[in-house]
Amino acid sequence: MLKFFLIFLLSFSLFSKELKVISLDWTTAETMMLLGHPIQAVGDKKSYNIWVKEPHLPNNILDLGLRVKPNLEQVIMLKPD
């Protein structure tokens, strides 16, 4: 019973706060935005705007560099969930 209660509290706290999300994968970024979870950063933002276009990336989303080789220092500084 105690385990169930702790899991319930943990899940409630995770869903009640806004998650800090970054994505190297464009499909994941699209999905998160369509589900209403704004992302902080995406890999290869310039190419996303050329190839994907919709949903549009807001201007405040950071570019993490190449999708296959992101800027790890920037990822660490963003402290994503």
For the chain, the structural domain boundaries read 18-78
What's the first-to-final CA gap in the chain, in angstroms?
A: 28
Residue ranges with strand state E in 15-77:
21-23, 39-42, 62-63
pLDDT tens-place string over residues 25-62? 888 888 888 888 888 899 888 888 888 878 888 888 88
Q: Using an 8 Å Cβ cutoff, are 23 and 42 in contact? A: yes
The domain defined by 18-78 folds into Rossmann fold (3.40.50)
Count the Cβ atoms, other than its own, within 10 Å of residue 70: 18
Residues paired with residue 42 on neighbouring β-strands, in sequence order: 23, 63
| pLDDT of amino acid 14 | 52
Q: Using an 8 Å Cβ cutoff, are 38 and 56 in contact? A: no
